[in-house]
């Protein structure tokens, strides 16, 4: 008779052998170089955290119009690919595995950041202020994509996935959560379209499915994953019929043998457990709401492993704890992070958090 699953059991994820079930969640850090290039500091940052079973990078934009925030890295030119290779090499040298998160901001962007009017499913502005190089600004009204343009935006995920593999990534995670472009198409208030990409559930999930299908065609299902935030209200998105919406989406995605689906705890536990049962493949669960009041911890991780999750992602806990896996394994204290350094640039609050210092 075997014992219950723990965070520190090995796990076979597609073609990858993970030494534990701890995933470093994607987190924006705003430290790319001019031209949205990855930097030597980013190589150190991710390599410091390579004991995670899997690292998922900060969101990487698939195009200039897809850039949401200043200082985020891109992966749509040869220069971007070259800048990321030292990052993936450093992680692999330290024994880690790393996926790139592909993030198209859609309407959550600003002309001051990109020089372009943001695009979205409909001409409906996001709620709140967006980040720009000169400070927070009200989210602008995006340009609604023409019907003929929508497939091109879906394919941009696949084109970036190809470049990610060229740059040495083990796979990609499509950012389908938190109010960005895929999430906007799923939404019932950001997506007011009356064509084949809006209205009923079967139409609202179409963009997500096409983006995944194109990526699978480009790099294979085993290197393709997606992150979702069922019922999340980030940037003012709303979703009607959440269990039905995500049940339909997962049923479509089940046609592909994806590396994993990554869920955030943005809906009631009953809904999330139902989605776990509906999804036949590997499930990564983030037991906290991004930027919410409570961070993911060992107790929440153990609970979700018991509820059927295969892997557990931790976000903010990884910022100040590059050795988070060891701290969780041995019950060492988890150091606090400094929110003032999340996006400020530079190495302070980025590379300056040490591993646990044992007393002599």
- Give catalytic residue positions: 180
Q: What's the rounded Cα separation, in Å, for the pair 290 and 164?
A: 25
The CA-based dihedral angle spanning residues 19, 318, 26, 307, taken in that order and rounded to the nearest 10 degrees: 60
Distance (Å, rounded) from C-alpha 227 to C-alpha 24? 13
Give the 3-state secondary structure of residue 95: coil
Side-chain half-sphere exposure of 276, counting CA atoms within 13 A = 22
Residue whose pair of structure tokens reads 């704890």 in the numeric block: 321
347's CB contacts (< 8 A; 6+ apart) are 41
Residues written for the chain: 360
Helices 150-166 and 78-93 cross at an angle (nearest 10°) of 50
DSSP state of 33: B
DSSP string spanning 293-331?
SS---HHHHHHHHHTT-SEEEESGGGTS-TTHHHHHHHT
What is each CA distance from 156 to 27, 77, 242, 304, in whole angstroms?
A: 21, 12, 27, 33
Q: Identify which of 98, 39, 99 has the alpha carbon closest to the alpha carbon of residue 73.
A: 39
**For residues 349 and 226, what is the distance between their CA atoms, to the nearest angstrom?**
28
Closest alpha carbon to 71 in 38, 102, 111: 38
Show Cβ contacts of residue 78 under 8 Å, excluding neighbours closer than 6 positions: none
């Amino acid at each position: 008779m075997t014992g219950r699953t723990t965070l520190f059991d090995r796990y076979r994820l597609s073609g990858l052998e993970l030494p534990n079930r701890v995933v470093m969640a994607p987190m924006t850090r705003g430290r790319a170089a001019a031209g949205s290039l990855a930097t030597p500091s980013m190589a150190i940052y991710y390599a410091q955290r390579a004991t995670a079973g899997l690292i998922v990078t900060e969101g990487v934009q698939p195009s200039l119009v897809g850039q949401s925030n200043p200082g985020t890295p891109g992966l749509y030119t040869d220069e971007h690919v070259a800048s990321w290779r030292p990052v993936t090499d450093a992680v692999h040298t330290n024994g880690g595995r790393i996926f790139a998160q592909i993030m198209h901001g859609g309407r959550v962007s600003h002309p001051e950041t990109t020089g372009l009017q943001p695009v979205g499913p409909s001409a409906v502005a996001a709620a709140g202020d967006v980040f720009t190089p000169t400070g927070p600004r009200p989210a602008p009204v995006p340009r609604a994509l023409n019907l003929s343009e929508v497939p091109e935006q879906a394919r941009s995920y696949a084109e970036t996935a190809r470049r990610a593999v060229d740059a040495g990534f083990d796979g990609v995670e499509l950012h389908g959560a938190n109010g960005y472009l895929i999430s906007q198409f799923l939404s019932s208030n950001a997506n007011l379209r009356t064509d084949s990409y809006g209205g009923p559930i079967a139409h609202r999930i179409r963009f997500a499915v096409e983006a995944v299908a194109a990526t699978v065609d480009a790099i294979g299902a085993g290197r393709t994953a997606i992150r979702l935030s069922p019922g999340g209200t980030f940037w003012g998105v709303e979703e009607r019929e959440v269990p039905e919406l995500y049940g339909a989406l997962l049923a479509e995605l089940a046609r592909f043998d994806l590396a994993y689906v990554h869920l955030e705890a943005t809906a009631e536990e009953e809904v999330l457990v139902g989605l776990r049962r509906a999804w036949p493949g590997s499930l990564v669960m983030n037991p906290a709401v991004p930027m919410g009041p409570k961070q993911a911890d060992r107790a929440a991780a153990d609970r979700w492993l018991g509820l059927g999750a295969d892997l557990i992602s931790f976000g903010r806990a990884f910022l100040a704890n590059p050795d988070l896996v060891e701290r969780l394994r041995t019950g060492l204290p988890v150091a606090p992070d400094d929110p003032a350094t999340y996006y400020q640039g530079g190495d302070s609050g980025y590379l300056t958090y040490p591993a646990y210092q044992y007393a002599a």
